[in-house]
Chain A
Amino acid sequence: MRRIREERDEAAFAELFGHFAPRVKAFLIKSGADAGQAEDVAQDVLVTLWTKAHMFDASRASVATWIFTIARNRRIDVLRKDRRPEPEDLTWGPEPEPDQADAIAFQQEADALGTAIAALPARQRELVERAYYGDLSHAEIAAETGLPLGTIKSRIRLALERLRHVMK
């Protein structure tokens, strides 16, 4: 992402495309899109990754998380044709000089969360996946998710506090 943002490196884009485009397409098909829609939306999502690269904050999100949010928003526009109001932005964008150590620590938290989800009992894991594929209504999502979000949440909270401090 850094090479895309700072150097507009097309080879770096091609690498991310190779990894994420087929996954975004699979995610959209599991969310109810047909192959043609999924192809079009996946291409849009990867192009958006490029045009909004300067808004990515590596101390608060992994690349996978960020791509998920772009894909989710396109899915709402294209498949659900609904609106999803967004929260107010915190500032003029991410911290100007994201700390490499923060970004690496965040990526480790995100990897640990992925491992924890993979290790959930099958039935619970399927419920989480179905929720994100858009299969469950609010009433069907169990109030107690049982997901181990404590550590990743603490890290995001710290990043938000730093951002508030920078803004002052």
Chain B
Amino acid sequence: MNDINHHLTDALLMGYSAGTLPEAFSLVVASHISLCDECRARLESFDAVGGAVLERSGRVAMDDGALEACLGRIANADWAPTRTVAKAVGSDLPEPLTSYVGGGLGEVRWRKIGGGVSQAVLKTSKGATARLLHIPAGRQLPDHGHQGTELTLVLKGAFRDEEERFGAGDIEVADQHLTHKPVAEEGEDCICLAATDAPLRFSTMLPRLVQPFFKI
């Protein structure tokens, strides 16, 4: 296990447990939990809340013959395969991410977006967008603020903003109150998985002009 210092918020874990997060956020949450036993235990606690809510939901009678129908279905049913989300052999990405990329980091199709930074937009449903970012060591991400929520999970290397360091496995949860200038640490390029539910707002003119083209 990595030494992880920055974790998911309760609100994200509850939303993920309830099953209401947009797909792009769920992807980041699932990737972090794959790396972090602490958040896995917290998630399973929120699932226990879901179990308690289910118990308290009251009862609505099943149709006549429902039990018999189910007994008929299970009489011939096989066990489902045990492993559902197995780690892909040799992949250097958390499994939930591997299926979106179609392999490991070597399979990512990067596109340059200026300043040495590259990105790869991942296909997810509406409501939020997810992308991988490759920031060369020592380089800064464009200065931006946020209209919605932005999640950034470090996969490789590390970045720092004004106050804190985020290393592999760490997740930064940023909202509209935060305007920051993350910089990739010297020594190793930084690769992150980022998701946002609003278009980013850049402080300088040029990135704002190119924003629609690059789907940032």
- Where the two chains meet, the residues of A that have a C-beta atom closer than 8 Å to any C-beta of B are 10, 13-14, 17-18, 21-27, 29-30, 35, 38-39, 42-43, 46-48, 50-55, 60-62, 64-69, 71-73, 75-76, 80, 82-90, 92-93, 109-110, 113-114, 117-118, 128-129, 131-134, 136-139, 141-145, 147, 149, 152-154, 156-157, 160-161, 164
Q: Please report the C-alpha to C-alpha distance between residue A145 and residue B176 in the assembled complex, in whole angstroms.
A: 21
- Chain B contact-residue range equals 35 or more
Determine whether the beta carbon of B60 is less than 8 Å from that of A38. Answer: yes
Residues B57-79 near A (CB distance < 8 A):
57-63, 66-67, 69-71, 73-74, 77-79
Q: A-B pairs with CB below 8 Å: how many?
A: 244
Determine whether the beta carbon of A22 is less than 8 Å from that of B30. Answer: no
- Sample of 19 A–B contacts (CB below 8 Å): A22-B61, A26-B59, A47-B73, A50-B74, A51-B79, A53-B79, A64-B55, A72-B17, A83-B125, A85-B27, A87-B95, A89-B85, A110-B51, A129-B56, A131-B15, A134-B20, A141-B11, A152-B48, A153-B45
Min CB gap A38→B, angstroms: 7
Q: Would you call B42 an interface residue if the criterion is a C-beta within 8 Å of the partner chain's C-beta atoms?
A: yes
With A29-B60, A39-B62, A85-B30 given, is the CB distance from A117 to B49 under 8 Å?
A: yes
Q: Would you call B54 an interface residue if the criterion is a C-beta within 8 Å of the partner chain's C-beta atoms?
A: yes
Q: Which stretch (B33-41, B102-110, B153-161, B179-187) binds chain A?
A: B33-41
Q: Please report the C-alpha to C-alpha distance between residue A164 and residue B36 in the assembled complex, in whole angstroms.
A: 12
Min CB gap B200→A, angstroms: 17
Q: Please report the C-alpha to C-alpha distance between residue A50 and residue B44 in the assembled complex, in whole angstroms.
A: 21
Determine whether the beta carbon of A113 is less than 8 Å from that of B77. Answer: no
